[in-house]
Amino acid sequence: MVSVQNFTRSSIGQFEATISGAWPQELSGHIFVAAPYHQIGERHLFGGAGVTIRWDLAPQNGKVKLLCKRVNTWDSFWQDLLPLTWRQRAFFPARMSLFGIAEPANTGVVNMNGRLLLTADAGRYWEIDPVTLETITPVGYFDEHIISVPLSFFPMVANTAHPFYDPETGELISCELKCVPRPGQLFYDMISQVYITVWDGKGTLKHWELDGTRLDGSPHTIILTEECAMIPDMPFQMGLTTLMGLKVPPTNAYPHTQVYVVDRKDLTAANYKVPARLVTFPGDSYHFLCNYRHNDGNIQMVAVQQGTISLTQSLEPCDVMHFTGKPYSEEYWGIPWMFGFDPGVLRKVVIGDGQVIQEEAFIHPGWYSTMLYTADPREQFTASGYSAIYQGYSGYWRDFICRRQYLAFRDHPNRILTDQKLPTHNLPSVLARIPLAEDWKMLTEQLEKEQQEHPERELPSLGHEFLDFYVFPDHCLLDSIQYIPQGKGYIFTKVFAENHLEAWLFAADNLKNGPIAKLTLPDTVNFGFTLHSEYFEKLVSAPPSYRVDRVSCALRSLAKVPREFIFNQPDQVLNR
């Protein structure tokens, strides 16, 4: 069992990792990883300010160097100066004070043509210098953003942790939300108006409202093609009262994936509202892998799905382990409900003429908790698109499943397994390559047949004859993963290995043979539970041309934001 103390250890500084195995001598480039910075008193695993971790892949004397620095957002200065005034409400990431709401910037990484941005589902994006990892500037003054709550110096910006940089237009495309009361249900969490946000990297942000569109949950990501921008309504709730830690119950999320599709040609200066078509398909989706080019006019994507989890809920002092009834020790408090008690699902979806025209699911009976994924970025803008998705499954860890989580999802309509079919022991992490050209329904049926005919086989190992995957040892937990686009490709993974941190390198075309090399850090060094990552071929210092002035930002937050929020003048806020 992995030590949970390692989930919340945050080492800052420059370190060297020792290489074992056959690390490719020609390997170069850099991997940037986002993570929360954990401090004493944090009440949620994803609640800390952002940390930037850079792995320099070129080996030197049998070692690989890495650098880790905290993201110094402007609210973090006040958090360090007056820590008692900043509080996390309940067991959720939001941290608030009289100064406003903290900007975590701890979830996603964006490569904006060599510029490095760190992102989160709340707060502005922050530019980081790729060379020094110094915090440079936020993206936009607050009055340039859509504001959910006009609080003091740091009002709340609700957005997506995964904006999309389009190298063909030179634009960063995202979405932002504005909280509005739920009609007829004032004592439930709010819903959100939705806006597409575009930034050219140097000027003012521009916004377009999706006409007649409201979200129950969080978008978490924007999906982009050459012709469309798509906003998903995720099945986990991140409304205003949830973010603020108020004990107001969220409504149950719609049990299927909803995606609002906008034609990019409508995003013009002539209007500030655009029409959106609603597309619905089965499953609880959290991430998407989408081809940039349309194929015969159709959108092709993969939805990464996992039932029985909630990232906005976490273990609390009142919780007990579902399968044993034992209480949790304090070190578990704040770990999200991110380990499911149902197999993970990958769903291929084809959308044409504003509707789903084809979908098929891949389900492995021994692979649980779809977390992070990666793919070959060299394929993204080709006519044929992606050939495979590399999916990380964190596993089935019974001790992390509390009674509240079980009761919340026991009767969920998307649940695959009944209680009687749940494994009676933990199942390990898995890294798998799933080809997109294969018939996923047939693959799933083959796995079901093998399970029935060979009940003696270990569940995670089913399909070894026709799938390429690696089952991690029982004492390891797979975390962040990143494709390295060099040669035939490599998969870089971060692994919790008992009481220390390792990084394992796989050949992308041969996962089943295991890691070709490992990087081991000293036992005193750990970065906790890391999140998304991005590959940079080279390092270039952040350009000096774009900066948000700190004093001016504070004054504009106090003067302009409340006026625009209260009087709701879209011609002054949208599409400036």
Identify any residues that bridge with 287 across adjacent strands, giving them in sequence order. 304
Q: Indicate if the pLDDT at residue 251 is higher than 90.
A: no
51 contacts 34 by C-beta, under 8 angstroms: yes
Contact 272, 209 (CB under 8 A): yes
3-state DSSP assignment of residue 204: coil
Going by their DSSP bridges, the two strands 370-374 and 355-368 should be labelled as unpaired
**pLDDT above 50 for 127:** yes
> Got the DSSP string for 350-361?
EEETTEEEEEEE
At 83, the pLDDT band (50, 70, 90 cuts) reads low
Q: Does residue 572 surpass a pLDDT of 80?
A: no
What one-letter code names the amino acid at 305?
Q
**CB 395, CB 338: distance < 8 Å:** no
Question: Is the pLDDT confidence value at 187 over 70?
Answer: no
What does the mean pLDDT of the chain come to? 90
**Lowest-confidence segment of 90-94, 344-348, 457-461 by average pLDDT:** 90-94
Among 357, 359, 362, smallest CA distance to 344 is for 362
| DSSP label of 479 | E
Measure the CA angle with vertex 72, ends 69 and 75; round to 5°: 150
Using the predicted structure, report yes or no on whether residue 245 has a pLDDT greater than 60. no
Least confident of 75-84, 117-126, 133-142, 545-554: 75-84
| HEC per residue, 483-524 | EECCCCCEEEEEEEECCEEEEEEEECCCCCCCCCEEEECCCC
Q: What's the whole-number mean pLDDT along residues 469-484? A: 96
Residue 568 has pLDDT above 70, yes or no: no
Phi, psi dihedral angles at 132 (to 5 degrees): -100, -15
Report pLDDT digits (tens) over 355-396. Answer: 999 999 999 999 999 999 999 999 999 999 999 999 999 999
Which residues neighbour 343 within 8 Å (Cβ) at sequence distance 6 or greater?
Answer: 363, 364, 365, 366, 367, 368, 416, 417
Return d(Cα 351, Cα 358) in angstroms, integer: 7
Q: Which residues contact 367 (CB under 8 A, 6 or more apart)?
A: 343, 344, 393, 427, 430, 432, 460
pLDDT at 249 over 60: no
| Cα distance between residue 137 and residue 173, in whole Å | 18
Summarize the confidence of residues 187-197 as an average pLDDT.
Answer: 80
Q: Can you tell me the mean pLDDT for 541-565?
A: 88
Beta-strand pair 533-536/126-128: unpaired
Query: Residue 402: its pLDDT value, please?
Result: 97
User: Do 188 and 232 touch, CB atoms closer than 8 A?
Assistant: no
**pLDDT tops 60 at residue 244:** no
In contact, 31 and 532? CB cutoff 8 Å: no
Residue 313 has a CB neighbour count (10 Å cut-off) of 23
Residues that constitute the known binding site for Fe cation: 162
Angle at 159 between CA 137 and CA 531, to 5 degrees: 75
Residues belonging to the binding site are 162
In this prediction, residue 467 carries a pLDDT of 98
Query: d(Cα 292, Cα 380) in Å, to the nearest integer?
Result: 6
Phi, psi of 377 (to 5 degrees): -65, -15
CB–CB of 216/253 below 8 Å? yes
Q: What is the pLDDT of residue 313?
A: 85
Q: Tell me how crowded residue 126 is: count the other CB atoms within 10 A of its CB.
A: 25
Per the CB < 8 A criterion, the answer to whether 390 and 431 are in contact is yes
Beta strands per DSSP E along 239-284: 256-263, 273-274, 277-282
Q: Which amino acid is at 540?
A: V
The residues with which 565 forms a beta bridge, in sequence order, are none
Q: Kind and range of the H or E element at 15?
A: strand 13-21
Q: Decide if 176 contacts 220 (C-beta within 8 A).
A: no
Measure the CA–CA gap between 149 and 91, rounded to whole angstroms. 20
Q: Are 73 and 49 in contact (CB under 8 A)?
A: yes
pLDDT at 576: 45
Quick: pLDDT tens for 282-339. 999 999 999 999 999 999 999 999 999 988 888 999 999 999 999 999 889 889 999 9
Q: What is the pLDDT of residue 90?
A: 47
Tokens, residue 563:
């006026």
Spatial distance between the Cα atoms of 60 and 419, rounded to a whole number of angstroms = 51
Query: pLDDT value at position 152?
Result: 76
Closest by Cα among 550, 568, 552 to 146: 568
pLDDT band for 155, please (50, 70, 90 cuts).
confident
Q: Hunting for tokens 């989706």 — which residue is that?
A: 285
Evaluate if residue 95 carries a pLDDT over 80. no
Confidence of residue 122 (pLDDT cuts 50, 70, 90): confident
CA distance 470 to 511: 6
Per-residue confidence at 45, pLDDT binned at 50, 70, 90? confident
Predicted local confidence at residue 235, as pLDDT? 73
